[in-house]
Amino acid sequence: MSEGLRITPTVVIPRAELTVRATRAGGPGGQHVNTSSTRVELVWNARETTAVDEGARARLMARLAHRLDAEGAVRVVASATRSQRRNRKDAESRLVELVKRALAAPRKRIPTRPSRAAKEARLTAKRRQAEKKKGRMTGLDDD
């Protein structure tokens, strides 16, 4: 097989860090499904990986916190097809996508200013609301 799972041009997860387990799956397949192990479980330990540096590891741990177990491992399960090979490919591609999204650095927000028309519209709406509320106070000076 290849040297590993390519996440980005610079990040490659070595295949030695991946644990693949095949188990019996439910779903389509009739009697075949009872005898073959087509469900694929792919486990990768993000805490102990050598594929990323410390900064990227910290971002991974924070972004994937809800997916990590106590040891820091991410588990991806695929059982959509009857083929173990296709399920493995599916699990690998889902792991790649998951890690790629977690490693993506957040884009810096560029502060913007409201336009003159937006300011005028806001002030006009405030004046209209104030007039509406003033109109409700007419019955107070009748004693």
Q: Which CATH number fits domain 4-103: 1.10.3720.10, 3.30.70.2740, 3.40.50.300, 3.30.160.20?
A: 3.30.160.20
52-101 pLDDT, tens digit each: 888 888 988 899 889 888 888 999 999 888 888 999 999 999 999 999 99
16-57 pLDDT, tens digit each: 888 888 888 776 666 766 677 888 999 999 888 888 888 888
In 10 A of CB 136, how many CB atoms? 8
Residue given tokens 């999204």 in the structure block? 101
Kindly list the domain boundaries of the chain, sorted by start residue.
4-103
CA-nearest of 89, 106, 76, 96 to 11 is 96
Between CA 59 and CA 66 the distance in angstroms is 13
Rounded to two decimals, the pTM is 0.68
